[in-house]
Amino acid sequence: MYVDADARLSAALTAASSDRIVFDLTGIEGQYERLLSELPDVDVRFAMKACPVDEVLTCLADRGAGFDAASPTEIEQALRTGVPVARIHYGNTVKSDANIAEAHRLGVRTFATDSVQDVAAIAAHAPGSRVFCRLATSGDGALWGLSRKFGCSRDDAVRVLDAARAAGLTPAGLSVHVGSQQMTCEAWRQAFDLLADTLVALHEQGIAVDHINLGGGLPALGYLDRHGTRLDPPLDKMFAVIRDGMEQLRAVNGAPLDFVMEPGRHLVADHGAIRAHVYRLTSRQKSDGERVHWLYLSSGKFNGLYEMDQLSYRLVFPRHVDGPQVSAVVAGPTCDSDDAYGSGHHPVPVPEAVTSGDPVWILAAGAYATSYMTQGFNGFPPLPYTCVRDTSSLAGTDTTLAGTETTRGN
């Protein structure tokens, strides 16, 4: 029954008597170390939006991670972990004048950009800062392409960094984002080719950057697609493509070149789970005569499962190991029709015997759970969270330590 949840999460979920999110700090730390072993030359800046939980941020900072912050509030939260401000960059290309000035006051000196207008604002409110320009990518192959709102063309990137140089800023780097939960190696190859072409174009204008930010996009491994099939991204091959691409860019650059990445879900998704409960399993006949089962849960789109439009989450019913099942549409508790798996989702196998109040574990829910929760839509409060850690190395026994329950307020 517990085959899909590791021992720490299983123990914490079993012990939980009420709804909450559980984060496995030891698992997150291990995932961070595995990433460093695959890409040892990369400076990791955790994308805070994926999991803005103080304990998670602190455990990553203690391991040496920096942070990709998207607002002054995130910068302040990152600083509370004790991370040096030099290891925080402002990774959002959308910034008001007040945002820029406040970030500069807090000590941040590296900013993402993608337009000459933003460059002018940075020069005015954060003079002397370093900027890196985000290139637009297609987003093909990702569950969330992120291709429309951010980034510019190669030629525009040259103009942007030239404008930065003229304004007294340091044109420090380039960045890309291949799309969130990227499933293909080809997207990475195309990104490296675009970066190489842009480096050449910059050299022709006498601009030499010192780093490349490879953005996010590294996938989690615990999701199901909308048909209920486990997503299986070729992660090992992706790492090989990234290592080759880094060497390609170093050769093109002809000078030392540092690399940054902004992983988010890759570090936390598979090491968080939600303990929810069943509201009701119902059966309703549609107008065409078809009878459909619906499984209503206490957690849905607005309180923990925001990404249910693109994903199916793995469900565990710890009180129902065997017995007959029915296929049901999964939905959350609110009075909103979007709070459910959509028409493109296949029904989910559910134990026929589930009743109101039965616990259900929602796995691979560690990313974008706390950050996307509403502050009480329809009167449903945000879920509290608990953090657990393996203490065996300290106590000499195979135990876990549960953190204090915390209501979302970060």
CB 7 within 8 A of CB 391: no
The full length of the chain comes to 410
Reported as type and span, the H/E element at residue 189 is helix 186-204
Helix, strand, or coil (residue 81): coil
How far, in Å, are 71, 114, 266 from residue 91 at the CA level? Answer: 9, 11, 18
Contact 174, 157 (CB under 8 A): yes
Which tokens in the block code for residue 206? 């006498």
Q: Decide if 335 is catalytic.
A: yes
Catalytic residue among 59, 133, 185, 335: 335
Beta-carbon count within 10 A of 325 CB? 16
Q: Which two tokens stand for residue 128?
A: 């002397």
Joined tokens for residue 84:
């040096």
User: Contact at 8 Å (CB) between 366 and 273?
Assistant: yes
**Cα distance between residue 317 and residue 336, in whole Å:** 25
- Extract the tokens encoding 30: 């291990």
Whether residue 126 contacts residue 111, with contact meaning beta carbons closer than 8 Å, is answered with: yes
- Which residues, listed in sequence order, are joined to residue 388 by a DSSP beta bridge? 24, 402
Check: CB of residue 242 under 8 Å from CB of residue 214: yes
Side-chain-side CA neighbours of 230 within 13 Å: the count stands at: 11
- Point out which residues pair with 315 in neighbouring strands: 362
Those residues with Cβ within 8 angstroms of residue 376's Cβ, 6 or more apart along the chain or in another chain: 382
Alpha-carbon span 186 to 237, nearest angstrom: 10
Tokens of 303: 């309180």
Angle, CA 389 vertex, CA 263 and CA 54 arms, to 5°: 50
Question: Which are the contacts of 217, defined by CB distance < 8 A and separation ≥ 6?
Answer: 142, 177, 178, 179, 180, 181, 182, 187, 188
- Residues 147, 138: contact at Cβ < 8 Å? yes
Q: Which residues are catalytic?
A: 335
